[in-house]
């Protein structure tokens, strides 16, 4: 199992998702998505609050990685930073609780923001994405995503991340080991394979 603590609006979580899904498939492990917001108590800093030189380098790295991975990514998406990530994150949580493919939904939401210039803080946009991806009653799922049951999971994800010492996203957790950043996915795969070898 790979636990994925991530901000749904994180470009790095978006860039890492295809390889993460491939690792899960090839190694026959499950992905447990745990959307969170920025963990400022552990040192997380919103992008627009970072020094200008860091923001500029952020663009340099995104340019490198989108080309290297050949994944479409708008460097200045129309709706980023998002007005809120809570609606989108809670929709993914709701999908998981209801037994839908939360990984496919999350990827569609991330792609909507970073490749298609859609507003993932807009309920109508989220309803359309959920309906297209999950082929379900998307309005009903959206209503459920705003319930105390879902919000309790949203808050628990954050408290668990704080307890584990997570400070940035995406952070992948395998066993008790943390791997921060999509550029550590090779190490995630090595960790999984080492665990399989130990068990066999």
Domain that holds residue 161: 2-199
| pTM summary value | 0.91
Pairwise CA distance, residues 110 & 120, whole Å: 8
Mean pLDDT of 101-125: 97
Q: Within 13 Å of residue 109, how many CA atoms lie on the same side as its CB?
A: 34
Which two three-digit tokens encode residue 192? 């999984």
Pairwise CA distance, residues 98 & 189, whole Å: 28
pLDDT digit string, tens, across residues 6-44: 999 999 999 999 999 999 999 999 999 999 986 656 556
Res 64: pLDDT? 95
Pairwise CA distance, residues 97 & 101, whole Å: 10
Note whether 184 and 171 are within 8 A (CB).
no
For residue 200, what pLDDT band results from cuts at 50, 70 and 90? very low
Mean pLDDT of 127-133: 97
SS3 for the chain is: CEEEEECCCCHHHHHHHHHHHHHHHHHCCCEEEEECCCCHHHCCCCHHHCCHHHHHHHHHHHHHHHHHHCCCCCCCCCCCCCCCCHHHHHHHHHHHHCCCCHHHHHHHHHHHHHCCCCCCCCHHHHHHHHHHHHCCCHHHHHHHHCCHHHHHHHHHHHHHHHHHCCCCCCEEEECCEEEECHHHHHHHHHHHHHHHHHHC
| Mean pLDDT over each residue of the chain, to the nearest integer | 91
pLDDT digit string, tens, across residues 63-104: 999 999 999 999 999 999 899 999 999 999 999 999 999 999
Res 37: pLDDT? 85
Pairing, β 2-6 against β 31-35: parallel
State the total domains in the chain: 1
CATH at 184? 3.40.30.10
Res 44: pLDDT? 60
196/98: higher pLDDT: 98
């Amino acid at each position: 199992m790979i636990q994925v603590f991530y901000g749904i609006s994180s470009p790095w979580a978006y860039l890492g998702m295809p390889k993460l899904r491939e690792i899960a498939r090839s190694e026959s492990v499950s992905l447990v998505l745990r959307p969170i917001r920025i963990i400022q108590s552990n040192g997380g800093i919103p992008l627009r609050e970072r020094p200008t030189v860091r923001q500029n380098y952020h663009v340099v790295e995104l340019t490198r990685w989108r080309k290297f991975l050949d994944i479409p990514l708008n460097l200045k998406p129309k709706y980023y930073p998002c007005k809120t990530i809570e609606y989108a994150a809670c929709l993914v949580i709701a999908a998981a609780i209801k037994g839908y493919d939360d990984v496919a939904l999350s990827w569609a939401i991330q792609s909507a923001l970073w490749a298609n210039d859609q507003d993932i803080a807009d309920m109508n946009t989220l309803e359309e994405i959920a309906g297209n991806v999950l082929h379900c009653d998307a309005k009903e799922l959206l209503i459920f995503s705003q319930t105390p049951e879902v919000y309790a999971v949203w808050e628990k994800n954050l408290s668990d991340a704080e307890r584990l010492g997570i400070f940035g996203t995406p952070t992948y957790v395998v066993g008790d080991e943390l791997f921060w950043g999509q550029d550590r996915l090779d190490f995630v795969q090595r960790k999984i394979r080492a665990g399989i070898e130990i068990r066999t």
